[in-house]
Every structure is written in structure tokens, then in C-alpha cells.
Amino acid sequence: MIWPILVAGPAAMGLAGGLTEPLRRLALRLNLTDRPAAHKAHARPTPYLGGAAVAAGTLVPALFFAPTWALRPMVLLLGGLAVAVIGLLDDARSLRPGPRLAAEMTVAAALVGCGIRIPVSGNPWVDAVLTAVWVVVLTNSFNLLDNMDGAAASIAVATAGMLAALALSTGQPGVAILLICLAAAAAGFLCHNWPPARIFMGDTGSLFIGFLISGSAAAAIGAGGGAEGHPLRALTALVLVTFIATVDTSLVLISRRRAGRSWLAGGTDHVTHRLRLLGLTRSQVPWMLMAMATLTGALGVLVAGGVLLAPAVLAGVVAVGVTAVWLLLRVPVYPATVTEKPADSPGVRVDETIGSVFTQAMPLVGGQLVIDRAASERSAAL
């Protein structure tokens, strides 16, 4: 069992890293690029298809080095492949939300039908429905996390690594190998996606990562996993290993609801964008995300194994999560219209919609908001 673990990781990293550059060139030839827009953080057209490298780098070594042909790793592998294809079609043709969601639910239902579920209610049918919904929600939450260079890949490296350790400890070597390959493939891709990114993973990669992490977490923590027979322990562990995705999705939904914006529209209102506006550099953001994912993932593993008491940890993580969302909501990220000031005003004359945070805004003068020129220029540079 040791040699597959030692070999699978480097093989996955090498394959994903080696495939990324050829796929980048192919994406440029096919014009599969993400073009800059007001709701996007990048400033130049950037090719997609990096997710195909992550998927291939994960699935091929996992299939080759898996110690057994057990049902769980195989259904996760095939489900991951199906979700990657859904993401690839979305990258190429922009699928409508309804058909895409229906396809994701079908894959999640197949996962649950093969015995992977989270036992939290005591009723197997209710657990099956909750597990399928949770997998789909988390799959799309990771899709939302792919909003800045290095963000989703960094979280994938840390989270998949922690879950691999849990799967090994619960006697699921096939699931562990798959997660090791995912972490290594994400690391190989990250070499090309680190700020400033030369390629994006697209929906192919983010949906693939989200599905494998959510499905593998259900396998490693739920029925047959580390927290079987302990619903509160399972719930706490799942919240911890997906903490960043949960906080980010909650933050975005609350922000857009309060601002009267569509939940489906893109925007620079995620955790990553707010961290940038609070002063972190483009390279510091993925490092912080990776550190946070490692910490919460490790706590999740300890809770699932019964080392830490679930009630106390759950209360703490909910308090931290709510506080984090509350604090990040105070960072303004949406446009606000400011009106032109008289010529004798000490501020800058503006009559436009400012599309970034209003840091270092000068005091209200005559009931009008006055923006410092240097602050405006720094905001535009973000």
C-alpha cells in the first residue's frame, strides 16, 4: 500500500503540470478564453482548459495506482469524469443553469445510489436526499471559489490532502489514492495558475474538484467512514473540511440578496476580492486560503476521528464563520453613484459609477460623497 501512495502523487503532479501548457495553447487556438469584464478580477484574456489537465492528472494515476477496484473509489472516479465533461461543455457552450443542475443532480444521485451518504437524520431516504443536495451545492460552491488566480487550486491541495489522511485512517485506500492524486494534480496545475495566472481551470476544473471533494468527504466521513453512527460528529467534520467554500457561498448569497442583485450573476464580491481590498497581495491570498483550508481540514479530521468533541467544535466553528461573514460584509464591493462636486470642493469632481471599494473616502461635504483621487486610482488598479 505504501508504494502506490508514494508514486501516485508525483505521477499526478507531473501529468497535470505537463498537460497544462499544451492545453493552454490549444485553448488559445480554439479561442476558449475568459475575457476581462467589470465583474471579473483579471485584466487580460486568459485561456481555459486547465481543468482538463487537473481531471486527467487525477483520474489516470488514480485508475492505475488504485490498490483495489472497490465500488466507492470507482463511482467517485466515474462521477468526477462525468462532472468534468459537464464543466467542459459549459466552458465551450455556456450551458443553461437548469440543464447543468439536472446533470449534476443525476451524477450525485448515482453517487448516493452506490452507498455514499451522510447519516445525519437517522432515516436512510432523508440522508440520501440530503447527501445528493449537499454534493451538488458544494460542487457549485467550489465553482464559485474559482474567482481569482490560484484560489480554487490552493484550497483543493489542502482540503484533498486532509481528506486523504482521513480516508487512509478509516480503511479506504482507494478513496485516499484518488484524493492524493487530486491534491497533487491541483498542485501541478497551480504552477501555471499562480498569480499572475497564464491559464484558468474553468468550470471543467472547479466542478470536478468540487464534486470529488464533496463526494470523497461523504465517503470518508459518512456511512462506512470515520463518523459513522455519530451524526453530530459527521456534520461538524463536513462543515470544517468545506469551511471556506461554505463561508464564501454564504457571503456571496447574503451580499447579493441585500444589494438586490441576481444570485447567478458573476461579481467581485467573494472572500478573495474582499481580502484583496483589505490589503493582501495577489500572491498572499492563495497562501492564506491554503493555510485556512489546512487548519479547518485538520480540525475536521480530528473531529471525525473522535479526538475533538463535536459539540464544542461545532459551536466554535459556527461562531467563527458567522463572525467572518459579518466582518467581510462590512467591506463595500458594489458600485455606488457619486455626484459632481462644486469647483471649490476639496475633492475630485466625479459623476460616474465607481465599481470598486471606496477605501479612504473623504468625509461627506454638503451631503455629497467626496472621493480621494489616490484612493480612486488604487481601487481601479485592483
**Distance (Å, whole) CA 17 – CA 372:** 44
Dihedral of alpha carbons 343, 345, 348, 353, sign: negative
Q: Residue 345 contacts by C-beta under 8 Å, 6 or more apart in sequence?
A: 365, 368, 370
Q: What element of type H or E holds 354?
A: strand 352-354
- Cβ-based neighbours of 32, under 8 Å, separated by 6 or more: 26, 47, 48, 49, 91, 92, 202
Closest CA to 191 of 182, 199, 180: 199
Beta bridge partners of 187: none
| Dist CA 290 CA 69 (whole Å) | 31
Q: What is the DSSP string of 127-138?
A: HHHHHHHHHHHH
Rounded CA separation 210/111 (Å): 14
Where helices occur in the chain by DSSP H, the ranges are 2-29, 50-65, 71-93, 97-113, 124-145, 151-169, 173-193, 202-221, 231-241, 243-259, 271-277, 284-304, 310-329, 373-381
Residue numbering of the annotated binding site: 143, 203
With contact defined as beta carbons under 8 Å apart, do 214 and 138 qualify?
yes
Q: Buried b / exposed e across 117-130, counting CB within 10 Å, b at 16+?
A: bbbbeeeeeebbeb
**C-alpha closest to that of 187 among 168, 159, 167, 214:** 159
For 160-206, give the DSSP string: HHHHHHHHHHTT-HHHHHHHHHHHHHHHHHHHHHSSSPS---HHHHH
Binding residues for Mg(2+): 143, 203
